């Protein structure tokens, strides 16, 4: 499948020149403006070789309300999630003021700057979230442990993907992934393969009810679920497609997933 065949009508993402998608100080500057407008708290929860690893938290979450967790930038060569999450936040200031969110804008700042998957130590952070003594994942544990969460949304990209796809980990009988992928199909269609990353997939959705047993290390979404998060969604866009389309798909996915989770709470 060629990228041009999978993209439908989308508006150009003119708010961010492509060469700034790895500009960590620029992106964090925009997050700080979002935080001021939405009255969010920005704090450094870890340090990566001199660079801050930041968390952005809403007032409702700080008060202890069950929160929606969102993260991007675990892998530094996956810039569309970082930009898409920021774009969504800039368009949802009122929602951020009212509802409970814990947001990690960029977990791997060195990787983002260098446009590489691994962190400043040459390690894949997404295989280390179970390690409480890790210099990034340890502080992450202390921040999220015992927090009341309603959903965890982890944003990624995949070099081999032929469209968007989703890992959905939940004990619920309901499968929400198909509706979420449909919501961003105007930017990029779902990956139609029956096997994705060695897992059985249905129209881009890889459904999990239990923890995978064959992982080389524990990824963020699985550890969130182990810590009590009832639903985790790991969304993937195809990194070989256009940056505008990928950012649009990431933004649309976050919008749809957050709306779905919040509607379920009512």
pLDDT in tens, 1-17: 334 333 333 444 445 66
Burial 107-130 (b: 16+ CB within 10 A, else e): bbbbbbbeeebbbbeebbbbebbb
pLDDT in tens, 101-145: 999 999 999 999 999 999 999 999 999 999 999 999 999 999 999
Angle, helix 243-265 to helix 79-90, in steps of 10 degrees:
50
Query: What pLDDT is recorded for position 4?
Result: 37
How far is Cα 10 from Cα 32, in angstroms, rounded to an integer? 28
- Mean pLDDT (the chain) is 91
pLDDT in tens, 69-96: 999 999 999 999 999 999 999 999 999 9
Confidence of residue 65 (pLDDT cuts 50, 70, 90): very high
Share of the chain above pLDDT 70, in %: 89
Within 10 angstroms of residue 135's Cβ, the number of other Cβ atoms is: 17
Q: Check if the beta carbon of residue 131 is closer than 8 Å to that of residue 210.
A: no
- 3-state SS, residue 35: helix
pLDDT at residue 260 greater than cutoff 80: yes
Beta strands across the sheet bearing 41-48: 41-48, 51-57, 101-104, 67-71, 149-158, 231-238, 165-170, 205-208
pLDDT in tens, 173-205: 888 999 999 999 999 999 999 999 999 999 999
How far is Cα 159 from Cα 166, in angstroms, rounded to an integer? 14
Query: What pLDDT is recorded for position 75?
Result: 98
Q: Rounded to 5 degrees, what are φ and ψ at 212?
A: -60, 145
Q: Which of 84-88, 98-102, 170-174, 255-259 has the lowest mean pLDDT?
A: 170-174
Query: What pLDDT is recorded for position 135?
Result: 96
Q: What is the DSSP letter of 49?
A: T
Q: State the average pLDDT over residues 23-40.
A: 97
Q: Check if the beta carbon of residue 10 is closer than 8 Å to that of residue 36.
A: no
């Amino acid at each position: 499948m060629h990228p041009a065949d999978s993209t439908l009508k989308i508006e150009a993402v003119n708010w961010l020149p492509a060469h700034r998608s790895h500009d960590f100080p620029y992106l964090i500057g925009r997050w700080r403006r979002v935080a001021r407008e939405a009255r969010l708290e920005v704090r450094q929860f870890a340090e990566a070789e001199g660079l801050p690893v930041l968390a952005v938290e809403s007032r409702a979450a700080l008060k202890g309300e069950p929160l929606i967790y969102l993260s991007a930038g675990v892998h530094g060569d996956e810039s569309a999630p970082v930009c898409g999450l920021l774009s969504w936040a800039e368009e949802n200031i009122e929602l951020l003021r009212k509802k409970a969110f814990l947001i990690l804008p960029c977990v791997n700042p060195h990787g983002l700057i260098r446009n590489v998957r691994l962190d400043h130590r040459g390690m894949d952070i997404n295989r280390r979230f179970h390690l409480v003594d890790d210099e990034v994942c340890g502080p992450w544990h202390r921040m999220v442990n015992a927090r009341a969460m309603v959903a965890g949304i982890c944003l990624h990209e995949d070099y081999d993907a032929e469209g968007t796809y989703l890992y959905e980990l939940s004990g619920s009988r309901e499968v929400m992934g198909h509706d979420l992928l449909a919501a961003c199909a105007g930017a990029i269609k779902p990956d139609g393969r029956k096997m994705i990353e060695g897992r059985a997939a249905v129209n881009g959705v890889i459904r999990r009810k239990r923890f995978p047993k064959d992982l080389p290390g524990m990824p963020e979404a699985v550890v969130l679920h182990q810590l009590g998060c009832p639903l985790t969604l790991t969304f993937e866009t195809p990194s070989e497609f256009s940056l505008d389309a990928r950012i649009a798909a990431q933004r649309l996915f976050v919008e749809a997933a957050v709306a779905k989770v919040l509607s379920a709470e009512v």
